[in-house]
């Protein structure tokens, strides 16, 4: 997702000239990697991330869900399955909504629950992998590509039992795996070793020099760029992308306006409350001084109480 400042930049690009649309936009991301006939592109990209050879990839949700006002753009993730049954959910994230941990857990839960139907055996469960590509940094790690698996904690000394194991199991489950790719970190990477994943990162970070080199070394990179250029030059696709971006921009603007209006009303209400509290305190202080100086003014029920107290004292 895009922030408000980024929208103004993109809006200017529409006016000046036709430029290559950013693959970091979730709509464009899915159009490239879930494009019919581009299964080999997604396969190569996944091989670069997972560091293993994949024979076949099947895209489970190739359709583009129509964008509607108020609809979350997270619906544009890609679900895929490899030849060994491994299930994957790949999503492009542009805006840090401070919920990626919860979101990743939710996606993982869906991947697992969707595999097993009533009557299925647990042994039929296949590996599930969630992949997030983010345009922001959020992990305190010295790597732009971080892999997470369920691991056992170190054995506590008071719980140690001598059973003769020279090497203990470390992985708690082979069926759950997370991958986080933080694009800003890659921009600071030393490109001495130009890996396959580095080649793909050049597209995501719009590194034209790197893209030229990657296209020569990897045919799937060239295919992805050709698809991206085709989409960028198609008036209908560009209009669709622009309408989605503008709808998101309007949503952010509306939220910001509501926030400002609420803040203004809140400040006004707070000032009125503070004013009432001040007047109340001021009245108490005045009453106290009046009592001290023997002056009794009938202004409200409290001054009446002061007068009643004085009358009782006089009777005594």
Give the pLDDT confidence of 49-81 residue by residue, as tens digits: 999 999 999 999 988 765 554 444 446 799 999
Q: Can you tell me which residue has the tokens 């009557």? A: 119
- Distance, first Cα to last Cα, the chain: 80
Report how far apart, in Å, the C-alpha atoms of 99 and of each of 103, 109, 138, 263 are.
6, 15, 11, 24
User: Per-residue pLDDT for 6 more than 50?
Assistant: no
Calculate mean pLDDT across residues 133-145: 96
Please report which confidence band the pLDDT of residue 174 belongs to, taking 50, 70 and 90 as the band edges. Answer: very high
Other beta carbons within 10 Å of 172:
12
Tens digits of residue pLDDT in 188-203: 988 778 899 999 999 9
Structure tokens given for 248: 């998101």
The region that residue 6 occupies, defined by phi over 0 for left and psi between -120 and 50 for alpha, beta otherwise, is alpha
Tokens representing residue 249 in the block: 């921009």
Average pLDDT of the chain, as a whole number: 82
Largest CA distance in the chain: 108
Would you say residue 242 has pLDDT above 90? Answer: no
Enter the tokens of residue 125: 């469960």
* Torsion, CA 241, CA 247, CA 251, CA 252, rounded to 10: 40
Residues 6+ apart with CB under 8 A from 74: 26, 91, 103
More confident residue, 18 or 21: 21
Q: Which residue has the tokens 């290559």?
A: 20
- In terms of pLDDT, which residue wins out, 289 or 184? 184
Decide which of 239 and 134 is more confident: 134
């Amino acid at each position: 997702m895009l922030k408000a400042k980024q929208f103004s930049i993109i809006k200017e690009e529409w006016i000046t000239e036709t430029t290559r649309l950013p693959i970091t936009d979730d709509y464009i991301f899915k159009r490239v990697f879930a494009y019919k006939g581009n299964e080999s592109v997604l396969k190569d990209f996944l091989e670069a991330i997972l560091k293993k050879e994949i024979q076949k990839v099947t895209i489970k949700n190739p359709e583009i869900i129509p964008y509607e006002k108020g609809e979350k753009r997270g619906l544009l993730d890609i679900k895929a399955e490899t030849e060994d049954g491994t299930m994957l959910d790949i999503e492009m994230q542009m805006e840090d909504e401070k919920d990626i941990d919860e979101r990743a857990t939710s996606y993982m839960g869906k991947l697992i629950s969707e595999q097993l139907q009533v009557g299925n055996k647990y042994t039929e469960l296949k590996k599930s992998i969630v992949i997030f590509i983010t345009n922001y940094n959020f992990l305190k790690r010295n790597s732009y590509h971080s892999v997470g698996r369920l691991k056992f904690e170190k054995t506590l000394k008071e719980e140690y039992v001598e059973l003769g194991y020279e090497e203990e199991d470390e992985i708690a489950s082979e069926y759950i795996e997370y991958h986080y790719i933080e694009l800003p970190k890659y921009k600071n990477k030393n490109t001495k070793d130009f890996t396959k994943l580095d080649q793909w990162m050049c597209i995501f970070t719009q590194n034209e020099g790197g893209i030229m080199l990657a296209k020569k070394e990897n045919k799937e990179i060239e295919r992805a760029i050709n698809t991206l250029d085709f989409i960028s030059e198609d008036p209908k696709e560009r209009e669709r992308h622009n309408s989605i971006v503008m709808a998101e921009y309007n949503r952010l603007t509306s939220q910001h306006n509501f926030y400002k209006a609420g803040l203004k009303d809140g400040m006004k209400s707070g000032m009125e409350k503070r004013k009432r509290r001040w007047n109340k305190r001021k009245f108490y202080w005045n009453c106290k001084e009046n009592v001290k100086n023997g002056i009794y003014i009938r202004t409200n029920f409290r001054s009446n109480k002061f007068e009643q107290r004085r009358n009782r004292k006089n009777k005594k």
